[in-house]
């Protein structure tokens, strides 16, 4: 059985699309009918997130079933660990992690398994930069130029991570960290001797949200990217002004001699 673990804190805006995408990936014929269990870990939710999960859970079948856990931690590491324990108790052999504001591709699971390793670290794509308003195009361009969306990358995203159950247990699992719990797990997996694939094949689309749920997470990274992009533009403009002034100083206009 394959397990998909999705932590969520007040994600009513994104969760429905997230679950639709996860269910589509679970129905991929390349999985040869292997059962997929999707668990959403509702962490201190006060919005409609639970109702959304329950609506999807009502459509569960023998191939793909959906349930949820409720925790009150406001801690993504705690939430991921709780969801993973739940999956292991149900016999999951492969653990696939994503986020509630993320939509996985239809081949997401089969692409992870096809790589035949212990750990798959994937990349993320962003299709809608509108939340950043007047900085949207600048940020999109900066992200395109500075983010490696290709095999051999070394990005770590909890929104696109796959781990075998055996490797997860050997590494000790997620720590209860409010941020970078995915980075800590990957480091533990590396130390345990796990076999890795740093691949761009398992695709996900994530949000460019400005209201980051975890301080220091991907949302904060995008805000730092926006600051760097603005600084780069301002530096280029300042350099242009300096060059222009120097050019004017070294090439003064010709003197006009009146007769």
CA nearest to 109, candidates 89, 92, 125: 92
What are the pLDDT digits (tens) for 175-219?
999 999 999 999 999 999 999 999 999 999 999 988 776 666 676
Answer yes or no: is pLDDT of 259 > 50.
no
What are the pLDDT digits (tens) for 137-182?
999 999 999 999 999 999 999 999 999 999 999 999 999 999 999 9
Q: Where are the domains of the chain?
A: 2-250
Answer yes or no: is pLDDT of 255 > 70.
no
Fold of 2-250: Spore Coat Polysaccharide Biosynthesis Protein SpsA; Chain A (3.90.550)
Q: Give the CA distances from residue 60 to residues 6, 35, 69, 75, in Å, rounded to whole numbers and listed in that order.
A: 16, 11, 16, 28
What are the pLDDT digits (tens) for 221-236?
676 666 776 676 666 6
Q: What is the mean pLDDT of the chain?
A: 91
Specify the pTM.
0.85
């Amino acid at each position: 059985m394959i397990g998909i673990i999705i932590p969520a804190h007040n994600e009513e805006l994104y969760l429905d699309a997230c679950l639709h995408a996860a269910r589509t990936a679970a129905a991929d014929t390349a999985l040869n009918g292997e059962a997929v269990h999707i668990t959403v870990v509702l962490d201190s939710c006060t919005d409609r997130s639970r109702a959304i999960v329950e609506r999807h859970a009502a459509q569960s079948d023998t191939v793909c079933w959906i349930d949820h856990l409720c925790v009150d931690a406001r801690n993504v590491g705690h939430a991921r660990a709780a969801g993973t324990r739940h999956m292991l108790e149900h016999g999951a052999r492969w653990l696939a992690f994503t986020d509630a504001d993320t939509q996985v591709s239809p081949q997401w699971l089969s692409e992870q398994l096809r790589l035949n390793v212990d750990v798959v670290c994937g990349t993320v794509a962003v299709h809608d930069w509108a939340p950043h308003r007047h900085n949207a195009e600048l940020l999109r361009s900066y992200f395109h130029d500075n983010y490696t969306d290709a095999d051999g990358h070394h990005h770590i995203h909890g929104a696109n991570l796959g781990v075998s159950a055996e490797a997860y247990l050997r590494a000790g699992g997620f720590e209860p960290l409010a941020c970078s719990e995915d980075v800590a797990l990957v480091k533990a997996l590396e130390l345990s001797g796990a076999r890795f694939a740093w691949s761009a094949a398992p695709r996900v689309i994530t949000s460019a949200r400005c209201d980051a749920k975890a301080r220091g997470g991907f949302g904060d990274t995008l805000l730092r990217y926006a600051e760097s992009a603005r600084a780069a533009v301002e530096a280029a403009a300042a350099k242009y002004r300096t060059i222009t002034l120097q050019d004017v100083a070294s090439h003064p206009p010709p003197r006009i001699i009146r007769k």
